[in-house]
Every structure is written in structure tokens, then in C-alpha cells.
Amino acid sequence: MFTGIVTEVGLVRSIRRAAAAADTRLEIAAPHHAGSLALGASIACSGVCLTVVERGDDWFAVEASAETLARTTLGDWAVGTAINLERALRLGDELGGHIVSGHVDGVGMVEAWSPEGGSVRASFSVPRTMGRYLASKGSVAVDGVSLTVNDVEDHGDATRFGVNLIPHTRSETTFRTARVGQRVNVEVDMLARYVDRLKGS
């Protein structure tokens, strides 16, 4: 489990593409986290929960299956890609964001990006099948960052939702370089999923 509070921005330093039926190995430079990570530990990489398989003093390695690459933005990553990192929640840690599983529900897209005072007003789109789990003032994780939804609108087969990014959030995450058209990992609020399941039972 995670909270959606990013604690370091890492950089992809190498990618070893998988042969058929094998996992893809990614090495990530992360000076703040790497030295204290245990082998087998879970870490959220731009919202995707992955397992540490090797580490050095300032880097760690993870492996991603073909399924993970297909259902998240990991397949877009290249050497030098910046990614949001968060270690798994430990008992007694402060829950500063919301409960995030690291199991991405789908890939969305940055639709609009405009300054609004000292903040940025950002709009994202997701498939409408995911939009049913979004609500104004509810929580959502975008590239592993816990955000509060300001508004939600359905447009055909897509749902568009808006958030405000304060300067601190932008400076401490990959949102500092985000651009319109960029693909992002989106995880809806876990509680919304369970409520929907209960309503259908």
C-alpha cells in the first residue's frame, strides 16, 4: 500500500528489453531511496507497484511483465525518463494522501495545462469505464500522485476530470515537466471500486 505522496523523482538509467515471455528489467537512479531499499521490497514507480530485484548505492532495479508494460505507461519509458517514487507504507506512517494500491486502473492523457494563480489547472481524460469511479472532491492517483478531483465531465467514450496542482506538488514530482498529450497512469479511489461492487451485488 502507498499514500500517493511522492518522496523522490528518479531517473531511468537503463532498460533491458525482454525476449519473448521474459520480463523487462529497468534500472532507476534514486540516490535518496536506493541505499535503504531491501531486495523484494515494493516501490511505486509513477504509480505502478514494482518489486526491487537488485540495488546499488544510488540505484535499484525492477522487472516488469509484458502485461504491466501494455496496461501502464512503462512501455513509453526510455533512458532519462523521470518517474515518481514512493516506498511502501509502513505501520505507523502518516497517511498524508489517500490509500493507493499501486495497481493502475488504466492510462489517461493530459488534456489541458494552464496557470491559475500560483497553481496549475490540469485536465486529464480517461476511458469512460473508469470515469464512473471519479467524483468531485474525491481522490485519484495520477502517475502515483494523490490528487483531489475538482470536476468531472463525460464526453462520449471518455471522462475528463480537472485538478489543481500547487507549486510544491509540481516541484517535487514529474508534473514539473508534464505536457499536453502526455500519457499518465491513473488509479481510481479504492473505496469507490468497492462501493460500486457492493451496489451491483
| pLDDT number for residue 86 | 96
CA distance 77 to 79: 7
Query: pTM above the 0.85 mark?
Result: yes
Q: How far is CA 34 from CA 10, 18, 56, 85, 164, in A?
A: 10, 24, 7, 11, 31
The answer to whether residue 149 sits within a structural domain is: yes
Domain that holds residue 147: 106-199
Q: Among candidates 14, 12, 10, which has minimal Cα distance to 85?
A: 10
* pLDDT tens for each residue of 109-143: 999 999 888 899 999 999 999 999 999 999 999 99
How many distinct structural domains can be found in the chain?
2
* pLDDT tens for each residue of 76-91: 999 999 999 999 987 6
pLDDT < 70 positions in the chain? 20-21, 91-92, 192-194, 196-201
**Are 77 and 114 in the same domain?**
no
Q: Among candidates 143, 149, 147, 151, which has minimal Cα distance to 182?
A: 143
**Are 111 and 71 in the same domain?**
no
Q: Which of 59, 87, 115 is the last residue of a domain?
A: 87
The CATH number given to whatever domain includes residue 115 is 2.40.30.20
Q: Do 164 and 125 contact (CB within 8 A), yes or no? A: no
Torsion of CA 100, 156, 178, 29, to 10 degrees: 40
The answer to whether residue 26 sits within a structural domain is: yes
**Are 55 and 129 in the same domain?**
no
The answer to whether residue 93 sits within a structural domain is: no
* DSSP string for residues in 183-194: EEEEEE-HHHHH
